[in-house]
Amino acid sequence: MRKEKHDSFGKRRKRGWGMDLYRNASEGLIGGVCAGLADYWGVATWMVRLAAIALLLFTGSLAFWGYIVAWVILSPRPTRWEDGASDVEVEMEYDEDRHTYRKKTVFHYPDSPTDRVRKAQQRLDEALERVQSMERYVTSRRYDLNREFSKL
């Protein structure tokens, strides 16, 4: 029974605790904990490192031991060549600016409703300009001339 708990802990750890939370050893300086947390939160790595240093200054050894515990608890980010790397399911969300799906992050703040309405209005204005330019072309003499040439 004790072995089952250990196995489930190891499996959850290997899968990033179901939250895509890993150490990023490739971008990390010491253990990759700060880089992994930065990836998870969607912020710059230097910000997390600065917060870790501030915690170390204000809490002393507590931050140090917290870093060591995070180093042990978080597994390294799996590479695409490792077995089971494709088993990790990550929650995705749609990014309207890039028109693609991306990993859902904790600190991602979507645009405000006013910004969304403004962007939608801009898209509608651009579409209206394209339709107006097509109407000008279709009703022009140039269109008639091009149509007559194409009949030849």
Q: Where are the beta strands (DSSP E) in 24-99?
A: 92-95
- Residues of the chain with pLDDT > 90, as a percent, come to 14
Instruction: Give the C-alpha separation, 37 to 75, whole Å.
Output: 12
Helix 141-151 × helix 113-138 angle, to 10°: 60
* Amino acid code (one letter) for 15: R
109-138 confidence digits (pLDDT tens): 666 778 888 988 999 999 999 999 999 999
**Tokens 């109407």 correspond to what residue?**
135
Higher pLDDT, residue 143 or 78: 143
Higher pLDDT, residue 33 or 18: 33
Distance, C-alpha 124 to centroid of its chain: 28
Domain boundaries, the chain: 2-103, 113-151
74-113 confidence digits (pLDDT tens): 777 766 555 544 555 666 777 777 777 777 666 666 667 7
Exposure of 18 by Cβ count < 10 A (0-12 exposed, 13-18 middle, 19+ buried)? exposed
Residue 92 CB contacts under 8 Å (≥ 6 apart), including other chains: 101, 102, 103, 104
Residue 66 clears pLDDT 90, i.e. is over it = no
